[in-house]
Amino acid sequence: MNKPGLKYGALLLLLAVVVYHSVYFKKLDEVKAKGARTQFDATAYADAFWKTKLLPATTKATDLNTLIQALKTDKDQAFAAHSNAMSIGNIRYFLVKGQGKITAVRDQDVTVSLTNGPDIIVATEYIFGNAARDASGLISLTEFTNTMDLNNVSAEINQIIRKRVVVPFKTSVKTGMEVEFTGAIELNQAHLHTEAIEVIPISIRSVGT
């Protein structure tokens, strides 16, 4: 081989070595695994929030009878003192507790006559929305990179309520049962109605039996 040929061959070899060390190949399984690790896990987040934040927060829930009276006396002050929401607007959420007697049992809810108070509804079928997520004020919007993750957290918390709260309760619920509960409610500050409050239960159990 002549000298130009040798020189050309050496250049090709050098180029091949440079390209080989410049390109890094990953296995497809490794790429997929890395993507899975960085994906937001709404189920795990909701479970941790339920156990470490929401359930402990119910010890500081506002008595529902007291809240209703406060809303009638000074609506704006009651909203300012006891409600939470992630966005600006009239829809606000309250973390509440109460006790009373079940006076009606239906497929989708039960009516509870509060002790020394009005009748309220406890949902047992249609558990949806953001009340349970937002009522405690312990979730910050800045924790999430997109609204889909935030909405998925709501869905997962509601699923926890269906499985861990509603299902056990419905197996034994009956008219005349005395119960105590904690839960979340949604109220509209501009168009307030306190005559038909619906509670999304976070805990509910029979008492006095």
| 3-state helix/strand/coil string of 35-104 | HHHHCCCHHHHHHHHHHHHHHHHHHHCEEHHHHHHHHHHCHHHHHHHHEECCCCCCEEEEEEEEEEEEEE
Residue 12 clears pLDDT 70, i.e. is over it? no
Can you give the CATH number for the domain in which 190 is found? 2.40.50.420
Are residue 142 and residue 189 in the same domain, yes or no?
yes
Could you give the CA distance from residue 150 to residue 140 in angstroms, rounded to a whole number? 10
Residue 66 clears pLDDT 80, i.e. is over it? yes
Are residue 59 and residue 94 in the same domain, yes or no?
yes
With beta carbons less than 8 A apart as the criterion, state whether 200 and 131 touch: yes
Could you give the CA distance from residue 128 to residue 146 in angstroms, rounded to a whole number? 20
Are residue 109 and residue 151 in the same domain, yes or no?
yes
User: pLDDT band for position 185 (50/70/90)?
Assistant: very high
If one counts the domains in the chain, the total is: 2
pTM: 0.81
Q: Decide: helix, strand or coil at residue 40.
A: coil
pLDDT at site 60: 96
Are residue 8 and residue 68 in the same domain, yes or no?
no
pLDDT at site 38: 72
Are residue 168 and residue 69 in the same domain, yes or no?
yes
Are residue 30 and residue 123 in the same domain, yes or no?
no
Are residue 17 and residue 77 in the same domain, yes or no?
no
Are residue 1 and residue 81 in the same domain, yes or no?
no
pLDDT tens string 91-141: 999 999 999 999 999 999 999 999 999 999 999 999 999 999 999 999 999
Residue 64 clears pLDDT 80, i.e. is over it? yes
Are residue 144 and residue 165 in the same domain, yes or no?
yes
pLDDT at site 3: 53
pLDDT at site 196: 84
Mean pLDDT, rounded, for 188-198: 93
Give the domain extent around 197: 42-206
The DSSP call for residue 138 is -
Are residue 118 and residue 27 in the same domain, yes or no?
no
Mean pLDDT, rounded, for 145-165: 97
